[in-house]
Amino acid sequence: MGVGAIIARSFARIFFRNAVALGIPVLQVERSPAGFSQGDIIRVNIEDPAVLNLTTNETIPGIPLYKDILDIIRVGGIIPLMKEISEARNKPNC
């Protein structure tokens, strides 16, 4: 979809659930990024939740996601995860 991640101080539950279902990384941060400007280069770490502004070297801590949510995001959404689970169940044991 071309979206690297969505970062915010809070999310409505329905938005958060839909973003995760589509495989879009979402990260809730503890505070607003005071030192971030348009054109800054940032690095978002969903697994060890933080946003690093590589231009100003400011780091904003994020709120950790549950493992199940990370698993859905890693595979690209709920549909790819369900396909993966289905294929694993239908795979013959060798």
Per-residue pLDDT of the chain (94 residues; tens, 9 = 90+): 577 899 999 999 999 999 999 999 999 998 877 778 888 999 999 999 999 999 989 999 999 999 999 999 999 999 999 999 899 888 876 5
In angstroms, what CA-CA distances link 29 with 10, 36, 84, 90? 8, 13, 30, 40
Output the pLDDT for position 94.
57
Positive or negative, the CA dihedral 61, 27, 51, 23 is positive
Backbone phi and psi for residue 46, each to the nearest 5 degrees, phi listed first: -80, -35
The full set of domains in the chain, from first to last, is: 6-90 (3.20.19.10)
Output the pLDDT for position 24.
94
- Classified as helix, coil or strand, 27 is strand
Residue 74 contacts residue 24 (beta carbons within 8 Å): no
